[in-house]
Amino acid sequence: MGKIFNVSADCKPNLHYMVDITERLQKIKEFVDRGEYFTINRARQYGKTTTLRALKRYLINEYVVISMDFQKLGTGAFINENVFSLKFARYFLNVLKYARHSPENGMEDAVPDSVNHVLLELEEIIRTEKGSFSLFELFLLLSQFCASSDKPVVLIIDEVDSVSNNQVFLDFLAQLRGYYIDRDETAAFRSVILASVYDIRNLKLKIRDQDEHITDSPWNITADFNVDMSLSEQGIAGMLEEYEQDCHSGMNIQEIAALLYGYTAGYPYLVSRLCKLIDEQIAGSKEFPDKTAAWTKNGFLAAARILLTENNTLFESLDNKLLDFPELKELLKNLLLRGKPAEYVPGDMGIRTAVMFGFIVLENGVVSIANRIFETRLYNGFLAEQSRYIPASLSGEDVKNQFISNGHLDMDLVLHKFVSHYTELFGNSSEKFLEDNGRCIFLLYMKPIINGTGNYYIEAHTRTNRRTDVIIDFRGKQYIIELKIWHGLEYNHRGEEQLSEYLDSYKLKRGYMVSFNFNKNKEVGINKVLLGDKVLIEAVV
């Protein structure tokens, strides 16, 4: 059986199609070579475990690498200091035994004989289950191990935030920190790498207020880890080239790589999931009977529609975060539904939390949603909530069939009907209500019309309370609709020129505008504007 696209656990080069991460490993090794203590904190399913396992193989010729996963310790390991110390020692010893005897990747020489006496002492402690074995004694032995090793020792701990007893964990971190700080006087690990969703410096978000006496000291020494963990468009193309060598679909590799990156911003799970959907569900379907038909733009968009409606582990994790952190949900609703831009202010926990969990990214201090897939799914969820407060008669569901002609979307007719329904239902609503809900109302109207056939996303660079560009893909054709609040004729003319330029980037000659006008003497209706070689259909409500 050949390779597959993987979305479960870590990727293995001999089993899975994966992006070459050699450049990433080189950059991380620079941290190790400098002897840094650092955290790799990224959102769920962002390739941390795959990276760490590859890093272990990458470092093995120069370092003794101790790679552990705290999830394997189990919740019972954190009952008290003695239990944790014994379980940690047993795990540590097992890792070394495997490294010494494993025939793969040249790891049989990974542990030097010079540390044998320390390993024997650890074995004796574990055998007798020494009841007084403490963190202090554990770290004395770890220090002896580092001092005896012929090669510098690197400690890697994955899932470091999966703890049940916070104080035992923090005591462990404090010891680790202390030995690292004093490494010029006492033998210690050359480099320490802690991987988790929670940045160690933000771990109090998870701990919350259970231990008020906890201070920052265990995590105030970590170096800034600025290595990009996302997949590049070029890297995705390389993965697709390997797939093509096996499957010969005839895809346009650069086009599909650009689509994958454009919708996911290189989020590893999303890239792999979309590829897996195209390869295993889209190919062979009625609309896309083979791989050649599936690995196209339309096949990709069909996969995106499936992804946005499924309940996978990543989306479930994100949904749980919205429940656990109400301030995070409010920030995202303000950004998406109300168009209120957010700037990063040091100490803003809502933004720090959103970045840590992968919802948003910071570009020059300005907040934007991390990728189109997240944005559309968040919109879908928020719109579903808002629909409870919007009259059902506004939905395009009941009249959706009249908007489809010969398989194409009649966007001109959509705007005509929207103006009519909107004016009837909201003509006398307050300006504040319409400012906060205008784009939401339009998207609620559009969503059932394109549902199941088309996709939509919001252009992040124009998502403000004055302007939003909605891009709709429907059966291979794109429609650009600018939503904006009316701020006078001069501003409107500038908007027309901006939309015309934006249409150029999509090689389109027809665009659409919806202006929410709060003037009492406004003229509601549809206007056609000719601007150079472009036709702009403007709706005023």
Q: pLDDT by residue for the chain (541 residues), tens digit each?
A: 689 999 988 899 999 999 999 999 999 999 999 999 998 888 888 999 999 999 999 999 999 999 999 989 887 888 899 999 999 999 999 999 887 766 554 544 678 888 999 999 999 999 888 788 999 999 999 999 999 999 999 999 998 877 655 688 888 988 999 999 999 999 999 999 998 876 655 555 555 444 444 444 445 566 778 899 999 999 999 999 999 999 999 999 999 999 999 999 999 999 999 999 999 999 999 999 999 999 999 999 999 999 999 999 899 988 998 998 888 888 888 888 877 777 777 777 778 778 888 888 887 777 888 999 999 999 989 888 887 776 655 655 556 678 888 888 999 999 998 998 888 888 777 767 766 777 788 888 888 888 878 888 887 666 555 667 889 999 888 999 998 887 777 778 888 888 888 898 889 999 999 988 877 777 889 999 998 899 999 999 8
- Which of 285, 310, 335 terminates a domain? The answer is 310
Euclidean distance between CA atoms 363 and 343, whole angstroms: 10
Lookup result for tokens 């933004």: 351
- Which of 249, 276, 310 terminates a domain? The answer is 310
Q: Do strands 366-369 and 360-363 pair parallel, antiparallel, or not at all (unpaired)?
A: antiparallel
Residues 264 and 131 in one domain: no
Residues 208 and 282 in one domain: no
Look up residue 241 and give its two tokens: 């080239």
Q: What is the pTM of this model?
A: 0.86
Euclidean distance between CA atoms 413 and 422, whole angstroms: 14
Residues 32 and 115 in one domain: yes
Number of domains in the chain: 3
202, part of any domain: yes
Look up residue 257 and give its two tokens: 């790589």
Residues 127 and 252 in one domain: no
Residues 65 and 169 in one domain: yes
485: domain range?
403-541
Amino acid at 193: I
Euclidean distance between CA atoms 13 and 270, whole angstroms: 18
DSSP E strand boundaries for 262-356: none
CA 52 to chain centre: 18
Residues 165 and 305 in one domain: no
- Which of 219, 243, 258 terminates a domain? The answer is 219
Q: What is the CATH number of the domain that holds 159?
A: 3.40.50
